[in-house]
Amino acid sequence: MLLPPLTRSSRLRRSWIVGMLVLVAACSSSTTPDEPGPARLAGLPVRLTVKQRTTTEIPGAAGGLRLTIDDVTRGQVMVSLAQASGAVVLAPVSLHAGQTVPFELQGVALLLNLEKLDNALVGDDVGTFVISDPAAGVLTEPAKIERLLSLVASLQGAVFIRNGSEHTPQEAADHLRSKWEAAGDDITTARQFVEQIATKSSMTGEVYRIRLADGTEVLAGEYLAGRLAEIEAGGA
């Protein structure tokens, strides 16, 4: 039995239906609902501990953001951030304990702080990290110490006097950092850093002094205590 030929309108309707079916099939094949979308962070600040040579999912990012660290070596570690898709969020950067590095996630400015490094006698070394919103204005204690060290290193024209010897601002900052790293978990606050690290020599007990660019000589501990108060008040 022969079917009657299709009219022009029937052919157009059939072509439209076929086209829609092809489009739906194409969309279905390219959609992966189980794949995590662009990462966003909730519940800031976020704190996490990561073993060396591992990658860890960031809490609050629904599996969409991951932090990777390399070997902990000489008080520092290489750190990077990436989306679950592999897109780089923060290129590998070397961080000391207490250092903070900015990064951007979906147009939002954030801070990654390496709060501390723990060297394990048995097992893997680990790093503790904090991700925070700079707009919140909350500084961790290690971040306050880093700010103090930066202030010391930037005192142009100043001379630091330690055990009778004169040192440049950068030499002074490097010395204070080495003392801080050697103290480990004994120093947990910026106030302790000023009082136990930056005030006097741990070997001779002689107080540290700073000769400022204008010739004024001050006690290092008192000077840095004042700068810490400014930092905590949001003025430095």
Q: Is residue 113 part of a domain?
A: yes
218 and 189 housed in the same domain: yes
Q: Is residue 36 part of a domain?
A: no
Contact criterion met (CB below 8 Å) for 57 and 36: no
Q: Is residue 147 part of a domain?
A: yes
58-66 contacts, C-beta under 8 A, 24 or more apart: 58/131, 62/36, 63/36, 64/36, 64/37, 64/38, 64/39, 64/40, 65/39, 65/41, 65/89, 65/105
Q: Is residue 12 part of a domain?
A: no
Which domain does 158 fall in, by range?
143-232
- Write the pLDDT tens digit of every residue in 111-158: 898 878 887 766 788 998 988 887 776 677 888 898 899 899 999 999
89 and 161 housed in the same domain: no
0.85 surpassed by pTM: no
Report the CATH number that the domain containing residue 108 is assigned in CATH: 2.60.98.40
- Write the pLDDT tens digit of every residue in 94-108: 988 778 888 998 888
Structural domain count, the chain? 2
